[in-house]
Amino acid sequence: MAKYTRTSERILYLFILPALAIYLFFYVYPMLTGLYYSLTSWDGMSKQKTFIGIKNYLDILKDQYTRTATVNTLIYTVVVTLFSNLIGLALALMLERRTRTNNVFRTVFFVPAVLSPVVAAFIWKYMYSPESGVINSLLKAGSLGALAQDWLGDPHLALISVMLVPLWQWGGNVMIVFLAGLMNIPEEQYESAKIDGASYFRRFIHVTLPGLRPAIVFNIIISTIGSFKTFDFIFILTYGSPGFTTEVLTLQIYKHALYTAKFGYGSAVAVMLTLLIVLFTIAELRVLTRNEDSYL
128 binds other proteins (CB under 8 A): yes
33 binds other proteins (CB under 8 A): no
Binding string, residues 261-280; x marks residues near other proteins by CB under 8 A? xxx-----------------
Name which position in 23, 200, 239, 295 contacts other proteins (CB under 8 A): 239
When the beta carbons of 132 and 294 are compared against other proteins, the nearer one is: 132
When the beta carbons of 152 and 212 are compared against other proteins, the nearer one is: 152
Instruction: Transcribe the chain into DSSP letters.
Output: -HHHHHHHHHHHHHHTHHHHHHHIIIIIHHHHHHHHHTTB---SSSS---B-TTHHHHHHHH-HHHHHHHHHHHHHHHHHHHHHHHHHHHHHHHT-S--HHHHHHHHHHHHHHHS-HHHHHHHHHHHH-TTT-HHHHHHHHTT-GGG---TTTSTTTHHHHHHHHHHHHHHHHHHHHHHHHHHTS-HHHHHHHHHTT--HHHHIIIIIHHHTHHHHHHHHHHHHHHHHT--HHHHHHTTT-STTTT--HHHHHHHHHHTSS-HHHHHHHHHHHHHHHHHHHHHHHHHHTTT--TT-
143 binds other proteins (CB under 8 A): no
When the beta carbons of 171 and 240 are compared against other proteins, the nearer one is: 240
Instruction: For the CB of residue 151, give the shortest distance to other proteins in the complex, in Å.
Output: 7
9 binds other proteins (CB under 8 A): no
Stretch that binds other proteins, among 101-109, 138-146, 176-184, 233-241 (CB under 8 A): 233-241
Where does this chain bind other proteins (CB under 8 A)? 43-47, 65, 125, 128-132, 150-155, 238-245, 254-263
